[in-house]
Structures are given as structure tokens and as C-alpha cells.
Chains A and B, each alone.
Chain A
Amino acid sequence: MNIKFFISLFLCGALLVGGIALADGVANLRGGKDIGTEPDAPAVGKIEDKDLKRVRNYPEQPPTIPHDIRDYEVTKNANKCLSCHSRSRTGESQAPMVSVTHFMDRDYQVLATISPRRYFCNQCHVPQMDVKPLIENTFVDVDELLEQETSGND
């Protein structure tokens, strides 16, 4: 018996198992509709606009945006976000100032103005929608981990 025979046997088995699984109606992105029919688009969620800061899951997380940002232009011409969040604008807007990390270049050198790599805010900061999560989230907060650790040691 040569090794090629075993490999092909294994592949056949894998195909068979895969085929059975698909026939059992494994969830796919088309929502069970066949390729010829257009599935209904899921409802578009509403942007949460409560103006209440959300708790960050870990200290380095870019905070999610707690307000609506419809039509806020961020281009090379204009940055609507900075018209409230820049250092000089916070007095009037009462918005939290972008933190000092936004002024740093990649050598952690603090610049006088927003660093170019932090200019396009939506790369890191996103608003949230009021919708049911598609899949369950198994994220465990670091405080919980610490707690588990200490209670385990007792």
C-alpha cells in the first residue's frame, strides 16, 4: 500500500462528511436560500445616540462613539470630528479632547498637532447600533479574569 492511497481515502471521507453536513442545512451566509433567489436584506439598525460614554473593555481600546455621526465629513479638506474634539475647540463643544496619544508619531514623539496617522478618526472609532448581536460574544473582561484568579488562589 502506498501513501497516495491513504491520502485519497482520507479526502474521500472528508468530502463525504462535508456533504452530509451541508445537506443537514448548516447555516450559510445566504440564510438557507438557494443561489437563484435573492434573500431579504436584514433591517438596518438605528445608530445609538444617547450621548452616554460606554465602558471600554480594556484600556487601549478606542472608545466607541456615543453619538450620531451622520454626514460628518472627514476628508483632507475638513475634519468635522476635530471641530469639536481638537484641543482648542473643547471649550465651546464640551467634548472630551482627543488624548495625547493622538499627537504622537510612531516613535512616541508628541507633535504640536494631531498626528497624520490619527487624522482619520473612523479608522478606529465607530458608533454602535441598537441590534441583536449575530453571534454570542464570549469576551471576558480583564477584571473578571483577575477576580477568577484571586478567588482560585484562596
Chain B
Amino acid sequence: MTNSISKVWSLLVSIWQRANRPAKYLSIGFLTLGGFVAGVIFWGGFNTALELTNTEEFCISCHEMRDNVFSELQSTIHYSNRSGVRATCPDCHVPHNWTDKIARKMQASKEVYGKIFGTISTREKFLEQRRRLAGHEWERLSANDSLECRNCHSAESMDITAQGSRAATAHQQFLFTGEKTCIDCHKGIAHELPDMTGVPGWK
């Protein structure tokens, strides 16, 4: 037993010594180019994997998402409307800019852990956690001034004369003045809401 461990160890040590020696036979040019190509392949692969996980198909491959939030989304205006433009999960839940995206993905690794250990494996467990999960999204969207909403809806391009009078008044008074952001007024536009007692603006 101890014998085999020491064997593996000495193998690892010798590999490292070899790798750590200056190259004897390879030109510096080859090494630089090779490193560059390997880098591109690695980087490309990483981003491809990132993009693959950034699709709705991936999100709803978990039954937790498909049976709860996705089925609720389907009746809303973000899934079905007169113009046929729709929002997918990552449109609202994953930041576009790269650093924020990575940060959100790291956070999502925790959700994968939750999946493996069945934190929300049933509808009942999901509903118990819903207030907390929704809270995270509200916090994120108020902190970034509803950036994901604004990727599609721009306040500058809103023609308030084409909006209903309730919308026009609210947007003029609170949105254009910067006093409030989209998520302050538009909670629950894509999914059913958790128990709203104690959430500002709800009774």
C-alpha cells in the first residue's frame, strides 16, 4: 500500500522536474505559438461550455426549473405576445458583461449543489424557498438598476404617448427621474410570487 503511494509520488515528482526544466530541443517560437494555440483552444472551450449553459434548454433540463418557474413563465407576456419576441431565462437572469457573468455562474454552482442534494426537489420544497430565491433576484436587479430588463427595454426609447395612462404617469414620475427602477414596480412579471407580506409596496 505505502509502496504504491510512494511510487505514484516519485512519478509525479519526475514529471514535474521534466516540465520545469528549460526546453532543450524546442524553439522559443514554437513554445510561444504552441502556448498561444493551446490558450485559444482552452479559452474557446471554456466559453463554449459557458454558452451552452447559458441557454434556456440547459436551465429547464432540471425538472425543478421546468415544472415550477418555466411552466409559470409560459402564460406571461414574456413568453407569448403579439410581436413574437420572447425573453428566455438567461435574458433576465444572466448578466451580459463578462465579469458579472462569471460571478453569477460561480453563484449558480451553489444551485447545482442544491440540485444534487435535492434542496428544492418537490414543488412544496420549492415554494418554501421561493421567498428567499425571489429576494436574491430582487436584490440583484435593484443593485444593478434592472440592467437585464434594460437590455431589452430602454427608458430612452419608451414612447409614453403610446402607453396606457397608468404606465405613462408612473414612468414619468418615478422612472425617468431615477427615483425607482423597473423591479421596484414590476415584481412577478415572469413567475408567480412568493408570500409578499413585508415586501415594500405590497399589502
Residues of A within 8 A of B (CB): 49, 51, 67-68, 70-71, 73, 75-80, 82-83, 86, 88-89, 92-95, 113-114
User: Complex formed: what's the CA distance from A76 to B202 in Å?
Assistant: 12
Is the Cβ of B169 less than 8 Å from the Cβ of A78?
no
Which residue of B164, B174, B193, B201 contacts A49 across the interface (Cβ within 8 Å)? B164
> Taking CB as reference atom, which chain A residue is nearest B195?
A77
Which residue of A67, A75, A82, A95 contacts B192 across the interface (Cβ within 8 Å)? A75
| Nearest chain A CB to B186 CB, angstrom units | 10
User: Complex formed: what's the CA distance from A70 to B203 in Å?
Assistant: 20
B27 contacts A by Cβ under 8 Å: no
Task: Give the interface SS of chain B, mostly helix, strand, loop or mixed.
Answer: loop
Is the Cβ of A51 less than 8 Å from the Cβ of B201?
no
Which residue of B77, B192, B194, B201 contacts A83 across the interface (Cβ within 8 Å)? B201
Given A67-B164, A71-B76, decide whether A83 and B195 contact each other with a Cβ distance below 8 A.
no
> Taking CB as reference atom, which chain A residue is nearest B76?
A71
Given A51-B166, A73-B188, A80-B188, decide whether A86 and B203 contact each other with a Cβ distance below 8 A.
yes
Beyond A68-B164, A83-B202, A93-B166, 4 additional contacts (C-beta under 8 Å) are A70-B77, A73-B188, A77-B193, A94-B169
Contacts of B75 in A (CB 8 A): 71
Total A-B residue contacts, Cβ distance less than 8 Å: 51
Is the Cβ of A89 less than 8 Å from the Cβ of B193?
no
B189 contacts A by Cβ under 8 Å: yes
User: Complex formed: what's the CA distance from A51 to B196 in Å?
Assistant: 27
| Nearest chain B CB to A48 CB, angstrom units | 11
Instruction: List which B178-192 residues lie within 8 A (CB) of chain A.
Output: 188-189, 192
Contacts of A88 in B (CB 8 A): 203
Contacts of A67 in B (CB 8 A): 164, 166
User: Complex formed: what's the CA distance from A75 to B197 in Å?
Assistant: 12
Is the Cβ of A71 less than 8 Å from the Cβ of B77?
yes
User: Complex formed: what's the CA distance from A82 to B199 in Å?
Assistant: 13
B17 contacts A by Cβ under 8 Å: no
Is the Cβ of A77 less than 8 Å from the Cβ of B203?
no
Contacts of B166 in A (CB 8 A): 51, 67, 93, 95
